[in-house]
Structure 1
Amino acid sequence: MLKKVINTENDYVALVLRLALGYVFFFHGMQKLTTMFGGYGYTGTMGFFTQKLGIPAVFAFLAIMAEGLGWAGLITGFLTRIAAFGITVNMIVAVKMLHFQNGIFMNWFGNQKGEGYEYHILAIAIGTALMIKGGGALSVDRALSDKK
């Protein structure tokens, strides 16, 4: 089972995708785990997810960990498919619970009630590609992979 999760080709497209998604989610993950970059930290995010959004605590915890640790898995290429899965599921849930009602466009000028979901679609697409391709070139998964 683990072999299926880590096996990956020496693919530089996967490298570019995982570094880009990992870089973006470093900032989002740190906001959720700490108060860096204007975030509410773990306690504030957990409260928002459980009290305001009504997400059960176990799923709120998993969502915070998916972003809070998933970026590191993507940057290093360690368990890439699992990290990409967590982030992809988070983005699907975010679209369904918060963003779909606001339309596709980001709220660049503050004219909408909230943010749209165009960013989320890109994150979902990149995450899905990484679940299919794996970590690719220069990844821990590749170093551990049978496909050398």
Structure 2
Amino acid sequence: MMEILNDLLQTDPNWVYTLCRLVAGIIIFPYGMQKLFGWFDDFGGGVGIKQSLLSFKSKKIPAAIAWLVIIGQSFGSIMLMVGFFARFAAIANFIIFVGALLSHREDGWTMNWVGSKKGEGIEYFILLLTLLIVVIFKGSGVFSVDFLLWKLRK
């Protein structure tokens, strides 16, 4: 068990990993807070928990999965921003955004910059998934709770 904990916390003192983690957390944060509290404009998932759950239900996504998405984006984005069990948060959000990518794959590669397409493309999701992969494999970076806890364990 301690070995698993050590593996989750282990990270290199590298500012690139810190930057990838922070950017991923900042990108995901408004989506989570919009679903949880109704903050920010509608990102396509409802506004607040009640509307978000209704939106997921209209897309035939089970309530249990909807709750996991709301919790994963809300708390996972904060975990990424502070670097606390960031690998776990990155894995959870990787799964969430692979689902988002799959649901948008029919909309093509590019985002809907001029409003001429039915939906958004997948380029945004590819970029976000790439940042999350870096965190999954390399950890939180130097400026993180994970790094501090890992250093204390040594």
Runs of 4+ aligned structure 1 residues displaced above 2 Å come to none
Q: What pairs up with 1:78-89 in 2 under 5 angstroms?
A: 78-89=84-95
For the pair 1:28 / 2:23, whether they are aligned, the reply is no
Secondary structure of the 1:113 match is: coil
Q: Which letter does structure 2 place at the counterpart of 1:63?
A: V
Equivalent residue number for residue 73 of structure 2: 67
Q: What pairs up with 1:47-58 in 2 under 5 angstroms?
A: 47-49=54-56, 51-58=57-64
Per-residue deviation, residues 90-146 of structure 1 (Å, max 9, x unmatched): 11001112x100001100111001111100001111101100011111110001115
Equivalent residue number for residue 111 of structure 2: 106
Per-residue deviation, residues 28-71 of structure 1 (Å, max 9, x unmatched): 1111111111241111111111x211111111111111111111
Q: How far, CA to CA, are the matches of 2:41 and 2:64 in structure 1?
A: 24
Equivalent residue number for residue 135 of structure 1: 140
1:145 to 140, 143, 150: 150
CA RMSD of aligned residues (A): 1.3
TM-score by length of 2: 0.90
Equivalent residue number for residue 7 of structure 2: 4
For the pair 1:120 / 2:125, whether they are aligned, the reply is yes
User: What count of residue pairs does the alignment treat as equivalent?
Assistant: 146
Q: How far, CA to CA, are the matches of 1:82 and 1:36 in structure 2?
A: 25
1:43 to 34, 38, 50: 50
Secondary structure of the 1:3 match is: helix
Q: Which letter does structure 1 place at the counterpart of 2:54?
A: G
Q: Which letter does structure 2 place at the counterpart of 1:92?
A: V
Q: Which runs of 5+ in 2 are unaligned?
A: none
